[in-house]
A and B are shown apart, each in its own frame.
Chain A
C-alpha cells in the first residue's frame, strides 16, 4: 500500500534534528568545571577526549532519544495515511451548458486545470465523467485522463438556454455513487446544490450589450419593417456601434449609447430585393448576442377557394384578406382550404378541408340561451367568446367524432370534424346575423385553423427562429422520400426522416435552410434570444472544492493504525529525556568508596 502524507508541512519538524545537533555541540562550550580528578576521567574514556564528534553523539543517550522524538513527532504531524492500490475515485463534472458559459470557456479550462490535479492524488485510479447540465445535453467525456478531459473543453460549445440542472446532477450522482465526487461547474452563484454536489463557479460580471429580440411587421405598402431590441445589461452606460449587412454590403457603423440597464429599438426596412439582413454589433466578451440575422418572414402559401351563399361573401372575403400569403385557387385545382356554407334547410356536403358557416335566409328572432363555454383545445385556448350574440337557428347535424369547441347552453356553436381525409371547422350558427365577424376571437380562430393547415402542408416558408429551437417542418414521409438536409454557412447536416421530429435550429446565430431533395422547406435565421443568459450581472466565481481533497482522503485512505502507540511512545520518550537531563544530582557526605 502506498503511503502518503496528509499534512506534508508536518515534515518541517525534521528541521528539529539539525537544531538539536547544533544545540548539542553548542552545549560543549557552556560549562567550565574545575576538577582535581581528571586522571580518573582520562582513565575512563581516554579515546573520546580527542575523538570524533560522532563518538560524542554515539555516547549520548539523551541526544539519540531526542532525535528519535523528533522523528516520531514529524511522523505524527505529517499524518501518514495508506491508500488501497485498487481504489477508484469517480469524479463527475456536470457542466452548465447554458449559453452564458461561452464567455468563460477559458476561465473554465484554467480553473479545472488548477483544481482537478488536486483531486486524484489520494487515490489509485480516478475516473472522470463530463456531462452537460441541460436535459438534451450530452456526455462529453468519460475516462481516466485529466488532459483529455480538458482538451475536450477546447471544442465545447455551450448554447442551451436557462435551465434547471437538477436532473443532470441527479444523473451525475448516480454515476459517481455515494463515495464519488460530484461537481457542478457553472458561472453563477446560487442556492446550495442537491445530491451532495459541490459548486465550482468560474464567472464574473461582464458589461454585456446585445440584441435582445426582434419583430417584423408589414409596412402597409407591401414591404416589411424590422425592429430589433438592443439592451445594455451592465450597470454602467455603454457605447456601441452597429452596422447592417445585406447581400455582401455593409452600412456605415452607427454609434448607439445606452444608459445602464436601458433598451434601444433599432428599426429599418429590408433593402429592395433583399429578403435577409444581418445586424452586427461591436463585439464584446459575450459574442452570441452581438449579431442578429433576419429573414423576411413568409408563411407557406395557402390556396383558398369559396363556395356557398352570397350572404357570406363579405365575411369570407374579409377573412381571406386577413390571411397572409393566400391566393385564389385556379379553376381545376384543389385548394388547400375551402370557405363553404351550410343551409340546414337544403343540406349539402361541405368540402373535406374547409371552414363551414351555417347560413339560412330567414333571420330567427330568438337568441341562443345559456352560458358560453369553450372546450380545452388549442384552437380556442385563451379566446374570449362572452360577447358573442348568435340567433337560434337550426343545427348542422352532428356526426360521430365531432369535437365541439364552443357551447352555448345545449348548442355546440363551433365544432371540429376530422377523420377520413376531412378537416373541417364548422360554425354552427349564422355568422352573418351574429356579431361574430366583429369579435377578435372569431378571426383568431379562423387564423389558427389556417395555420394548422399550413403546418401540415409540405411547402416552403421563411421565418426567424431562436437558436436550438425545435423545428416542425412538414415533409414528404413516404419511405422513398429523400432525407432532410440542414444547410448553414459552416456546412450541412443530413437528417434522416426518422429523426425529423427532433430537428432543432442551429446553436449558433446565422442563416440556414432545410431542404428535402430539391425542394426547399424552410428558409430561416437563428438568433440568440435568451436575455437571462445574456445578463451577467449575477455571474460570480466560487469554489467549494477546497474541502474535497480532505473528504476524498477520508474516504479513500486509512490512518496509521499505530498512531496511538506512537503518541504513547513519544510521551514516554519525553519523560525519559526529562528524567535523564533534569534529574537532581546525588548529594551526600558519604564517600563513594
Chain B
C-alpha cells in the first residue's frame, strides 16, 4: 500500500487544517443530537432561538411562561427555545488498496480524510474515525489520526477480495450523527445497501469520492497485463479503441448509478479529482452539490 510518507502526511494534515478554514462539513442545515454545544439540537433547549409555543402543564418551569400571552388570552402558555448541541461526526475512511493505487489519488484521499477530521474538529463536533477495508473495519482514536498512526492500523487490516465493498453497516454508528464516507466507490456492489447503512438511525451521510484521471480516462493501448491492486491477480487483455470506449462508458455508468442512488437516499455524493488543487477540486462538485459548504 503506497501510503504517503510521514513528512508528506504532515504537510497534507497542515493543508487540511487550512482548508478547514475555507470549507466546512454541512453541519448547520440540520438539527443534531449530542452534548451541549453550538449547533441546533433536535430538542428544546436553552438557546436564544425561539422554537414553539405550547400550553403550560404542571411541572414546567414557570420562568418560561409567556406573560404577555397570558395577559391577552388568560391562559398560561410557554415559549420554547431550541436546544444547542455539539454534533457527532463519524468519519468512515475506505482504506482498500484501490484508494492508494496511484500516488496522486492516494494524496487526495488522505487529504480529504484529514480535511474531514479537521473540519469536524473545528466545528467542535464529537468526532469518531473508522477505517473500512471490505467487510472489516477498525475504530481509530482521533489522536492516532493526528499522529498518523492510523496508517499502521490500516496496514494491519487483512487483504480482501478485489470485489469486496466496504461495509458501513458493520461499525456501530450513533443516531442522528453526520457520517462522512471517503471512498473511491470502485467495487461492483450495489450502492443502495451501502447508502441505507450509512443513513440508518436517522443519520445523515455525505460521500467524498476521490478519483484519478488514470482510472477515468485511461490511455491503455495494445496488449496489457492488468494487475489488480486489491488481489494482485494478473489479467491479460488486448485493449483496442473499442474496448477503451466501452470501459469509459462502463465507468461513467457505474458512477451514474451511484449518483442516482445518492439522490434517492438523500446522501450527497461528490467526486473529487486528484489532479487539481484541493480548493479547485472541491469547487467542482462538492460545493455546488452541497456536500461541503464554504466556512
Query: Using a CB–CB distance below 8 Å, which chain A residues touch chain B?
Result: 24-25, 27-45, 48-49, 56, 59-62, 580-581, 584-593
Contact = CB atoms under 8 A, between A and B. Distances in A.
B238 interface: yes
A254 to B, nearest CB: 90
Interface in B199-248: 211, 213, 215-230, 233-238, 240-243, 246-248
B259 interface: yes
B252 to A, nearest CB: 4
Contacts of A49: 235-237
Contacts of B281: 589
Interface stretch (B8-16, B65-73, B112-120, B269-277): B269-277
Contacts of B247: 37, 40-41, 44
Contacts of B293: none
B44 interface: no
A29 B186 contact: no
B252 A38 contact: no
A27 B225 CA distance: 10
The 4 closest A-B pairs by CB, nearest first: A585-B219, A36-B98, A593-B255, A28-B223
A36 B217 contact: no
B241 A28 contact: no
B213 A36 contact: no
Contacts of B163: 39
B262 to A, nearest CB: 12
Contact of A585 (B162, B221, B253): B221
A36 B240 contact: no
B50 interface: no
Nearest to B218: A585
20 contacts: A27-B222, A32-B224, A32-B225, A33-B226, A35-B215, A36-B97, A37-B251, A38-B162, A40-B251, A40-B254, A41-B237, A49-B235, A60-B240, A584-B219, A586-B219, A588-B213, A589-B276, A591-B216, A592-B251, A593-B271
A32 B229 CA distance: 12
A28 B236 contact: yes
| Most chain A CB within a 10 A radius of its CB, from B163, B216, B251, B284 | B216
A581 B250 CA distance: 22
Contacts of B157: none
B84 interface: no
B101 interface: yes
B238 to A, nearest CB: 5
Given A43-B250, A592-B252, A37 B186 contact: yes
Nearest to A30: B223
Given A585-B219, A592-B251, A593-B259, A29 B237 contact: no
Contact of A37 (B215, B242, B243, B259): B215
Given A30-B223, A40-B247, A580-B241, A591 B273 contact: yes
Nearest to A56: B238
Interface residues of B, number: 54
Contacts of B246: 44-45
B101 to A, nearest CB: 5
Interface in B47-106: 97-98, 101
Contacts of B227: 32-35
| Most chain A CB within a 10 A radius of its CB, from B187, B226, B242, B275 | B226
A36 B238 contact: no
B126 interface: no
B155 interface: no
B255 to A, nearest CB: 4
A43 B187 CA distance: 12
A50 to B, nearest CB: 9
Given A40-B254, A43-B250, A49-B236, A585 B217 contact: yes
| Most chain B CB within a 10 A radius of its CB, from A31, A62, A592 | A592
A41 B215 CA distance: 12
A593 B235 contact: no
A61 B221 CA distance: 12
Interface of B: 97-98, 101, 162-163, 184, 186-188, 211, 213, 215-230, 233-238, 240-243, 246-248, 250-256, 259, 271, 273, 275-276, 281, 284
A34 to B, nearest CB: 5
Contacts of B255: 591-593
Contacts of A30: 222-223
B218 A36 contact: no
Nearest to A48: B237
Nearest to B219: A585
B211 A31 contact: no
A34 B281 CA distance: 24
| Most chain B CB within a 10 A radius of its CB, from A36, A43, A587, A588 | A36
B218 to A, nearest CB: 7
Contacts of B275: 589
Contact of A591 (B98, B253, B271): B271
| Most chain B CB within a 10 A radius of its CB, from A38, A49, A59, A590 | A38
A39 B226 contact: no
A586 B228 CA distance: 22
A584 B213 CA distance: 14
Given A59-B238, A61-B241, A34 B225 contact: no
Contact of A31 (B97, B224, B271): B224
A35 B240 contact: no
Nearest to A62: B240
B107 to A, nearest CB: 15
A310 B237 CA distance: 135
A268 B188 CA distance: 123
A593 B217 contact: no
B220 A28 contact: no
Given A59-B243, A62-B240, A581 B251 contact: no
B223 A34 contact: no
Contacts of A43: 188, 250
Given A44-B250, A593-B271, A39 B240 contact: no
B238 A31 contact: no
A472 B73 CA distance: 175
A27 B228 CA distance: 20
B184 A36 contact: yes
A578 to B, nearest CB: 13
Contacts of B233: 38
Given A31-B223, A585-B219, A593-B259, 11 more contacts: A29-B225, A34-B227, A36-B101, A36-B228, A38-B235, A588-B217, A589-B213, A591-B216, A593-B252, A593-B254, A593-B271
B20 to A, nearest CB: 23
A157 to B, nearest CB: 74
B240 A61 contact: yes
B82 to A, nearest CB: 39
A36 B222 CA distance: 19
Nearest to A36: B98
Nearest to A53: B238
Contacts of B271: 591, 593
Given A28-B223, A43-B188, A59-B238, A34 B229 contact: yes
A498 B98 CA distance: 116
A41 B224 CA distance: 12
B217 A33 contact: no
A34 B101 contact: yes
Given A34-B227, A37-B251, A43-B250, A28 B218 contact: no
A35 B211 contact: no
A59 B223 CA distance: 12
A27 B217 contact: no
A35 B226 contact: yes
B188 A39 contact: yes
Contacts of B213: 587-589
Nearest to B271: A591
A589 B195 CA distance: 26
Contact of B229 (A35, A590, A591): A35
B237 A591 contact: no
